[in-house]
Structure formats: C-alpha cells, structure tokens
Chain A
Amino acid sequence: MRGDLPQIAGTADISRVARRLRRPSSRRASPWAWFWLALGMLYFFVPLVATLEFSMRAVRGRYTFVAFQHILSDPDFYRNFGFSLMWAVITMVISLLLVVPTAYWVHLRLRRLRPVVEFITLMPFVIPAVVLVFGYIRLYGSRPLVLTGSPVLLVAGYIVLSLPYMYRSVDAGLRAIDVRTLTEAAQSLGAGWPTILRQVIFPNLRVALLSGTFLTLAIVVGEFTFASLLVWPAFAPYMEDLGNKKAYEAAALALISFGLTWASIGIIQWLGRGAPGQTQVTGAH
C-alpha cells in the first residue's frame, strides 16, 4: 500500500509517535474481558458440540466420523461449495464497488440522503426472498429482456440480501475515521475522487470492509431461495436435499459447511491483513 499521508494537526504527529510506542500487548488483560469471552464461547460452541455428538452416532453403539466421510467423498459437495464460493467472491467485489462510494458520498456530502439510503438498505429484511425472486423472474425473465439465463439475477439477489450488512459495516467504519479531514488532506495534495477512494478511503476502512465481506460470503454460501428457483448448482440447495434424506450426514454437513465457511473467511482475513507496520491513519476526530 502507498505510504502514509501527512497529518494535518500537530497533535496527530504526537499521537502517531505515541501509537507506535504502545502496542496492544502492553495492555493488561481485564478479567472481565476473559469472562465475557468465555461466556460467549460457551454459548456458541455447546450447540456445535451437540450437533457433532449427534452426527457421530451414525453407527449404533459407538462414536464414529463415518457421516463426515460420506460427505467428504461426495463429488457434488465440492462442486456445489466451489460454485457458491466463486459467486460469493464476485458478489463481494461488486457489492463493495456499489456500497463504498455511496456510503462515502452520503457521509461526506449528501447528508440529507442518508435516511433514504438507510431505508433502502433495511428493505431486504422485510421483503421475503421468495417474493423477490419471483419478482425478478417476472420483470427480467420475459421477452424482451430475458436475463434468467445469465447469473445476473442470482448475483443481484445476493447483493440485495447482503446489502444491509455491507452498508452498515461500511457506515460504522466511516464514522470511526475522520472522513472529512482525510478527504481534505488528499485533495490538498491534488488527488481526484477515484484516487481518494482507492488510496485513502479503502485502506482506512480495511477492518470495516473485512467485516462486510465476511458477512457477504457467509450469506451467499447459505442462500437457498434464489439458487433453487433460478436453477443454479449452489451449496444451500445441496444441503437442503441432503437434510431431507439423511439424518446423521445432514448434521455432519452443517458442521463441515460451518468449518469451510470459517476457513474461507479466515483466508480473506489473512489476505486483507495489510503489510506489517501499517498504521491506521486517522486524524483527530
């Protein structure tokens, strides 16, 4: 990534130095922090353990992983998961390109549009997915505009479903940095809007963007309605089908899909971690 941009105010110079001096590990861990974390982990992992325990009962009388073996040896599993993963990445990219400039602009200049944009981003919650997909088929599936053959409708559906989460993540990220100062600074250096977005905003929103992309990936991998009614070999219809047929394998599949999605998210996290020593540049709020 390009080098630091110059700070505006003097206090920021001091704070930059101060930031380098203090590293997270110097802070003593609060016992409450451990407590909340432990409580959270208990809540999250007990149901997973319960599912695991059930899936291991596939053979009578003893615990075994044979249900997992069945899943992992099914070629359909890999095909469908790969398909969903690929379209998740495409959705993530398009969604970012759509949401970040908009959120940035609304934050910076079009304040009055904010309620409108927020309402739009909350709409996907209250429109049933099945209504949406049939709406797409009606509008864009009949002559002259037959889009149903292409993945356009699928990706559009995925973007719509992940919109609330992507927008909210980016919005929270924008609020946490001083957008105005950064923009001014960049402009005073002669940067145009594309440069500002690419070299100033995106890098500073790294954490927020990662959150948004994690959520999008999880949503796309688990999405059923669009994939099923638009006839695409995605992962969730595969899971549904298996869930109907086989008890123990379904539980195993739920855990495998959890693990795989987690791994995928982990890879994105690792890819987006940024170069070592990269400090998050924010002006005084």
Chain B
Amino acid sequence: MPNRRLTRRDFLKFSAAAGGSALLAACGGGAATCDPITSADTIALDTLTECATAEGQLTTIALPHDWANYGEIIETFKTRYSLTINELDPNAGSAEELEAIRANRDNPGPQAPDVIDIGIGRTVTAMEDGLVAAYKVATWDSIPMKDPDGYWWAEYYGALVFECNMDIVETLPVDWEDLLRPEYRGMVAMAGDVLQSNEAVQTVLGAGLSRTSGAFEGAAQAGLEFWAEMNAAGNFVPVIADVGKIAQGETPLTVEWDYLALANRDTLAGNPEIGIVVPQTGVITGPYAGGISAFAPHPYAARLWWEFVMSDEGQLLYLKGYAHPIRFNDMAARGVIPEELAAALPPAEAYANAIFLTVPQLQEANTYITENWRRVVFGE
C-alpha cells in the first residue's frame, strides 16, 4: 500500500471513521477492530494496547542500550505491554535502517523494522522514498520539531561537549579554539567517522559555527579549516573514539554528544575521572527523528511505542539518560521535570546559546563537509 500524502478531503473522511471507531471502542463495547491503519490521526491508547498485544511483538533497529537510556526505555515498554522486542543491529546508521525497511518490504517476519530512529538530515530521503508512515501521537502539538503531516518528529537532542580523561588532560579546554593548543597534541578525537556519522559531521560544523560566531553561512568551510589545522598541528587523532579508547588513553579528549559523555562518565565511575565541558561558542545540537515503517508488520505496536516514547514518562526516561527530550520546554513549563534529573545535566546557562539548525541547513552542511573533508583536511 503506497503511502501517499493525504488530501484534506481524505483526512476528514478518515478521521471521521477513525473517530467513530475510537468512540465505539471508548464505549467499551467489546474488542476494538484492528483494521489496517490508513490515517495519521491519533489512535486511542486502549485500542493501541489491545491491537498491539494481539500483534505480540515490535521490531526496533539502531537503538543501542546505552544511548540516551534506550536500554531502560525498551525494558519498560517491554514489561508494561508484555510485547516481545526484536532488536536489530544496534549500531546501524540511518542508511541501513532505511535499507532494512526497503529490503523487508514483503517480509512479515521479525527482520522487518517497525520503528526507526534516524538523523534529522535523513528524514527527507525516508519521505521521498515512501518508507515511513504518518502518525500523530497524542502529544503532537507540544513537539517543536516535526514534519507537519506527521511523517517524522524529533525525539530528543543533545549538544556537543568535550569529554576529557582527567588522568591525561590536565587543564580542561573552554572553547573550540583551545583544542588547537600544543598541550593537547595527539589527544583530540571525534566520536565517529565523518563519512558515516552524523555526530562527526556536527563536530566539524560545531567548530565552524564557533569560528563564524554562530552564523551558518561559511560555517562548514570554517569547520573544515579548523580540523585541517588540528591535523597539521598533530592534535587530531584520526580514530573513532569510544569509551574504551577514552579510558585507555588513546583519545583522552573526545568531542561527543553530552548524553553519551555523561553516560560514559557513569560507566567509568571515576576510573578514570571524566571532565565534561560545554563549549562557550558553537554549541551545536543534534536532534534525532523517529518514524514508523510504511511496511511495518506490527503497525499498532509501532504506534504504541511512539505514544510511550513521546509521552511525559518516555521523555523523562530520555532525560534520565542525559538527553534533552524534545518536549523539554513544554514539560518544564508544566513543572513535570523532577529536580534531580534536571540537576544531573550541565547547567542550563551552558545551553543558552544552543544552535538548532533546520533540515535544509543540515543537509547542505552534510554535503559540503563530506565532499570536501579529505581534500581540505588531508590535502588529497
């Protein structure tokens, strides 16, 4: 069933039907019918729960357990709704997630992902290729970053910080320019590969934004030049940093998402001590977008998942993993954020200058950086 954009008339027609059946279900008149879903409208939680239980399972992809507390989110969801969760490749990037949807089009088995979590820049491809289905969760209106028709929505974001192994790094850097100092020779690394990782591209862009004082124009080029200087100075360690390499000392100064850095600090528990610094300028944020596969074998379970994740409870679980839930401001305004959780993050003032780029800007920067990375930084 191709997922075409709904016209206004379709919308009204289907929402009437959906509303009608939801009304019937709410009247408690026995089991709700679990028809194939054709609209993007919110479905009542009871219907979702019942039909999801009937489906029995949910297939996720690219959700590492230690990334923004996905481990706990998955566990909570699993136990609350008694569903089996099939977790495909946690290290998959957006390209593999979309490829998995494509390849499993006709496969109703547990290899076909139901829900995806991709970089914001990749959402355009997902929509163009008809790989995602539209759905508006109950909390739709309070989501500040989303596709107006409901094809994707941001789930959480973080900011790039400097994560330092305090056994090796003596003075903490304060801003991007500090990374060029000779005392950090052979120490600075990215947490991903520029050609494959959103995080790494944002690292380049963040440095650039610091140099252009927040202006997007020319930031990509400035970022590339920054890292070219880093490489020439010998400060740049060209390896993908991870918690092991930080602890071992190969990459004692890593630029990483704050939630990952804070999670690493917990994991290492002082062995070694980790210092985390939000840069003064060029505070770049990286939201990730959620979606539902257009060919999901378990459509109700998929929507139930998102109802859970985008609810206050789900969003707070992100916060527990040190990621800023996308609905942070709305929840803060309503006072539902517990003190301790908020206190565990770096102080809010550090995020005062956080830069949120738009999807077209991100795409443009992605393209520019990846095309010119080797040439500018390595001169080949």
Contacts and interface: CB of A to CB of B under 8 A. Distances in A.
Asked if the two chains touch in their complex, CB atoms less than 8 Å apart, one says yes
Contacts of A58: 271
Interface in A211-250: 225, 228-231, 237, 240-241, 243-248, 250
Contact of A231 (B91, B111, B271): B111
A247 B243 CA distance: 6
Nearest to A143: B106
Interface string A123-153: 0000000100010011001110010110000
Contacts, number: 87
A134 B103 CA distance: 6
B107 A142 contact: yes
Contacts of A57: 247, 271
B103 A243 contact: no
Interface in A53-70: 54, 57-60
B248 A54 contact: yes
A80 B335 CA distance: 44
Contact of A146 (B59, B100, B109): B109
A228 B89 contact: yes
Interface in B254-311: 267-268, 270-272
Contacts of B107: 137, 141-142, 146, 148
Contacts of A148: 107, 109, 111
Nearest to B270: A60
Contact of A229 (B88, B108, B246): B88
Contacts of B267: 245-247
Interface on chain A toward B: helix, strand, loop, or mixed SS?
helix
A228 B60 CA distance: 12
Given A142-B106, A245-B66, A245-B267, A251 B111 contact: no
A172 B355 CA distance: 62
B65 interface: yes
A250 B267 CA distance: 12
Interface residues of B, number: 34
A247 B105 contact: no
A231 B243 contact: no
Contact of B271 (A60, A143, A243): A60
B86 interface: yes
B110 interface: yes
Contacts of A142: 105-107
Given A141-B107, A148-B111, A246-B243, A229 B270 contact: no
Interface in A81-115: none
B196 to A, nearest CB: 12
Contacts of A246: 243, 267
Contacts of A141: 103-104, 106-107, 109, 111
A230 B109 CA distance: 10
Given A141-B109, A247-B247, A134 B270 contact: no
Interface in B88-102: 88-91, 96, 99-100, 102
Contacts of A143: 106
Nearest to A54: B248
Interface string A243-271: 11111101100000000000000000000
Given A60-B271, A130-B96, A245-B267, A231 B110 contact: yes
Nearest to B268: A247
Contacts of A230: 111
B114 interface: no
A25 to B, nearest CB: 45
B155 interface: no
A247 B248 contact: yes
Given A54-B248, A142-B107, A134 B99 contact: yes
A247 B258 CA distance: 18
Contacts of B102: 134
Contacts of B244: 54, 243, 247-248, 250-251
B242 interface: yes
Nearest to A50: B248
A146 B107 CA distance: 7
Given A57-B271, A247-B248, 14 more contacts: A54-B247, A58-B271, A60-B271, A134-B99, A134-B100, A134-B102, A137-B111, A146-B107, A237-B90, A243-B242, A244-B242, A245-B66, A246-B267, A248-B247
30 contacts: A54-B247, A54-B248, A130-B96, A137-B104, A137-B107, A141-B106, A141-B109, A141-B111, A142-B105, A146-B108, A148-B107, A149-B109, A228-B89, A229-B88, A229-B89, A231-B86, A231-B110, A240-B90, A240-B91, A241-B65, A243-B242, A243-B244, A244-B64, A244-B65, A244-B66, A247-B242, A247-B248, A247-B267, A247-B268, A248-B247
Interface of B: 59, 64-67, 86, 88-91, 96, 99-100, 102-111, 242-244, 246-248, 267-268, 270-272
